[in-house]
Chain A
Amino acid sequence: AQSVTQLGSHVSVSEGALVLLRCNYSSSVPPYLFWYVQYPNQGLQLLLKYTSAATLVKGINGFEAEFKKSETSFHLTKPSAHMSDAAEYFCAVSSRGGADGLTFGKGTHLIIQP
Chain B
Amino acid sequence: KAGVTQTPRYLIKTRGQQVTLSCSPISGHRSVSWYQQTPGQGLQFLFEYFSETQRNKGNFPGRFSGRQFSNSRSEMNVSTLELGDSALYLCASSLSPASYEQYFGPGTRLTVT
Contact = CB atoms under 8 A, between A and B. Distances in A.
Interface of A: 32, 34, 36, 41-46, 49, 51, 90, 92, 94, 96-107
Interface of B: 4, 33, 35, 42-45, 47-48, 56, 58, 90, 92, 97-98, 100-107
B56 A102 contact: no
A101 B4 contact: no
A49 B47 CA distance: 22
A45 to B, nearest CB: 7
Contacts of A90: 43
Interface centre among B33, B42, B47, B105, by most chain A C-beta atoms within 10 angstroms, is B42
Contacts of A100: 45, 56, 58
Given A90-B43, A104-B43, A98 B103 contact: no
Contacts, number: 59
29 contacts: A32-B100, A34-B100, A36-B104, A43-B4, A43-B106, A44-B90, A45-B104, A46-B101, A46-B103, A49-B100, A49-B101, A92-B43, A94-B100, A96-B100, A97-B97, A98-B48, A98-B56, A98-B97, A100-B45, A100-B58, A101-B33, A101-B45, A101-B56, A102-B43, A102-B92, A104-B35, A104-B42, A106-B42, A107-B43
Contacts of A96: 100
A100 B43 CA distance: 13
A55 to B, nearest CB: 16
Contacts of B58: 100-101
